[in-house]
Amino acid sequence: MAVTASQKEFIADLFGGLGGISTRAMMGGLCIYHDGIIFAILGSDEKIYIKAKGPLAHDLKAAGATKFSMTRKNGTIGSMGYWTLPDEGLDDPEVACDWARRALAASDS
């Protein structure tokens, strides 16, 4: 999938409340940064994933998020520390930015 201009605009609008948002293409998706720190990705499946581990990952799971996973060429399943943005965050930039702030705070620790 090639990332479209409208997808980039959606990301900018969704996380605009943070300020300092930038993106970079990666493997059919998009890395999403705040002031140069990655906090989320747009996967090639067109889902937004928030970077999380520990308590934040548990909170995302409790909110209905699912962990990023992929099937490798050899058929095994791999995963990374990224969780889908809960549905509520897709429709509400304030909620999306709250999750993003938590991800950024966790990356500082």
What per-residue confidence (pLDDT) applies to 104? 96
Provide φ and ψ at 17, rounded to 5°.
Answer: -65, -20
CATH number, position 80: 3.30.1460.30
Question: How remote is the C-alpha of 33 from its chain's centroid?
Answer: 10
What per-residue confidence (pLDDT) applies to 1? 61
Give 3-state DSSP helix, strand, coil % of the chain, rounded to 5.
40, 30, 30
What per-residue confidence (pLDDT) applies to 15? 97
- Rounded to whole angstroms, how far apart are CA atoms 84 and 31? 14
- Using CA atoms, how far residue 15 sits from 18, 20, 75, 76, 98, in Å, is 6, 9, 35, 33, 9
Length of the chain equals 109
**Domain interval for residue 63:** 5-108
Number of domains the chain is built from: 1
Q: What is the pLDDT along the chain (109 residues), one digit of tens a residue?
A: 688 899 999 999 999 999 999 999 887 789 999 999 999 999 988 999 999 999 999 999 999 999 998 888 898 888 889 999 999 999 999 999 999 999 999 986 5
- Rounded to whole angstroms, how far apart are CA atoms 82 and 60? 10
